[in-house]
Structure 1
Amino acid sequence: PAPTAPAEPTEANEDLVETLLSRADAGTPAAASRAVDAFLRALNPRMPATPAPVVTPEAATRQTARALVEEALLLTAKDLLGAEPVAHLESAWRGLKWLLDQVPASSGITVEVLDVAREGLLDAVQGALDAEPFERPDAVFLADATDDVALLGKLAALGERAQLPVVAAVSAPLLGVAQAELAAALEEELEQVSEAWTALRQDESARWLCAVINRVVVASEGRGAARRVSFTSPALAVAAMLAASFRDTSAFARIMGQQGGLKAPAMWELSTGRDTGLSLPTEHFLPIRAQARLEERGILGLGSGRNADAVLLAAAPMVFGGGYAVPLPAQLLTGRIVRFATWVRDQLPAGTGGDDVDAIFSQAAEVFLFRGATENGQLRGQLVATDNGRGVHVTATVRPEHAGTRFQLAFTLPLRG
């Protein structure tokens, strides 16, 4: 049979078309119009684009006024956020948020914040460290940067007495240069340290002090004159990297190299100097060579790749420069082991025999230090005779992947009573 002729357009057909078109989002006619234009141009590329709407003088005036008001508001907000104490509070808050983002409830990490004025700092830190050895924190982080060597020496002494690392932010004047000139000074080897700093590096207490430099970008927003950047303390950055390592590996060792890198909250573009136009997650661009230069001075420098958003560490030195020293993760582990062994020693019943001492130490270490992963390390305790009576000789061996370096530790604790 002959094919049926197409039906003539009817009012019903027209109603159907209207119904289909009406199913589009009536609240966005401009978007619907653009979609139709794009579809028709795809079918017929020679079809002219929809002409831009005509802007009346009144509309142009309103747009200009609105732009001026928005710019004034943004500049005012920039001034307010850049003034103290707001800038300091924003820096601390954003840095703490970045740290807390690395410690979900399942991580087993607790973060305690101590807010204290500079003049009460030492007393406040000492008070926080007066707890029983195994109840103390694993590390203390000082967010406010300083170049006061005397203060840093006192912090090192507190860390030594409490057997835990103190990670303190330091500023460029410690190296004899202005803050803005840090990267250039390291590149040209123009930095200098004081005799007081050199002397502190020879003190045994400096094994417990980690000085860190180069702030991290935590906010970068706005454009043009209204653009602003907020940085946070490098000490909080190190805390975040250690926390991320512990969260993922149950150890603090994975903070160096590409594997230990941590994405920063934001980046900014350098506008001056030899690296103008470079996008960074840190205040200064500190490549591996600059970080090595800082390591020679007993300072940990935060670095990054070019136009990359991860904060990277080429090294994690402690301040001590008087001989063999271990990096920050191993020093932190040293503190944990010493405090743990002291705590276990204090739990031993009077008259405990040698075999029982060894069993108690090794089993407790498996639970509290290595979370059941005995392949990561071993700790033993052995009864020995000392000049002042009986003692416990403690030995610990930990895998490099768990400590950040080859790790063996031995010390003797006197038995009480």
Structure 2
Amino acid sequence: MGIWIIDGLVMQHSNNEMRKQHLFIEDGKITKILDGNENIDTGDHQVIHAEGKLVSAGFIDMHVHLRDPGFLHKETIQSGTLSAAKGGFTTVACMPNTRPVIGDVETVNYVLNKAKEEGAVRVLPYGSITVNELGRELTDFEALAEAGVIGFTDDGVGVQNAQMMKHAMARAKKINKPIIAHCEDDSLVKGAPVTEGQFATKHNLKGIPNESEAIHVGRDILLAEATGAHYHVCHVSTKQSVRLIRQAKQLGINVTAEVCPHHLLLSEQDIPGLDANWKMNPPLRSQEDVKAMIEAIEDGTIDMIVTDHAPHSKEEKEQGMELAPFGIVGLETAFPLLYTAFVKSGRWSLSFLLEKMTIAPAKVFELPYGHIQVGSEADITIIDLEEQKQIHPAQFVSKGSNTPFTGWNCNGWPIVTIVAGNIVWSSSTTNKE
């Protein structure tokens, strides 16, 4: 039995217009796309009535922390992927800073098998660049690639040794896999919980300077130029990093980049006090940096939007700004936050936002997803653009509730998520047999 999605509004990216269409899904693929004015016989197939709702390709998040294996009190593959599905994401790429680190074939197989058994959405694991992310020895790139990793990163820590990073890029280039870099010079950040700036000064805290990120970005761009590797910069947060990435792209160096919603929406001036739900890495920067992030995503310097979904337990975050771990959750709030702030305000087109969450990540990482067309994978997100509600962490399906966006009023909530033709999330009675 197939699924009909009828009367939905499908974005036509060629002209930035929405068109009413009917979609038919069968055997995990989109097999028909009909004009919305056509009369159709739905037969015995399942029907989703999507009148007035946006029907989008499923969102792709290339930067999440599922915490499994090793940190199941924070998140599991089951809870994390359900959180993704609720947020409209159909594909997520999980970071390797688990315990054990995803740096050997056995752990890759564990993640892939558990995702197949318990996951609500598609999970693409990264492998670590170095053994246990210690920066001392490269992992077996070839074996990890064969096992199914989509790239290599030591996310959570920066690779401190330039020679190690150069060797990593050369190895990755040989097997056509990207290097995904958490950019941070440890000598400049030790013991600092927030950005260097007014908030740190006011609360007598050590600050994380912008150059701690940009130094690694600049170094790695030169190494990418030397090796020819595809170099992808994680969670860009500083104007200096943007400047370096923009120059690298102008020179034809194979560098791509991502930004998170919180670095587009918040600055250090928004932090209300010593609440660790506002503590993330990279930290919230200055308003000038936020402006640079927005301009960079708009002009293509930054390619895509990711969440860096990083759940922690309530007890861990209650340790306070200095002792609590870095990170906030983001899967369930990313689209509503961005739609409300940038599309409803008129700054961005809806087509632009959708492109940065679907087509762009698929293109950068050469994934066969992110499009609505006949023959494509039936990864679909249906969104009620008119629904408005507040963000309440108690309603999250993620194990983590650590967010700075509590109480924000947002429009644009995903109501149905379909992965490879299977309904994995539905918020209401939009489904009718």
TM-score, scaled to structure 2: 0.30
Instruction: Name the one with the larger helix percent.
Output: 1
Pair member with larger Rg: 1
Q: Which structure would you say has the larger RCO, counting Cα contacts within 8 Å and 6 or more residues apart? A: 2
Instruction: Name the one with the larger strand percent.
Output: 2
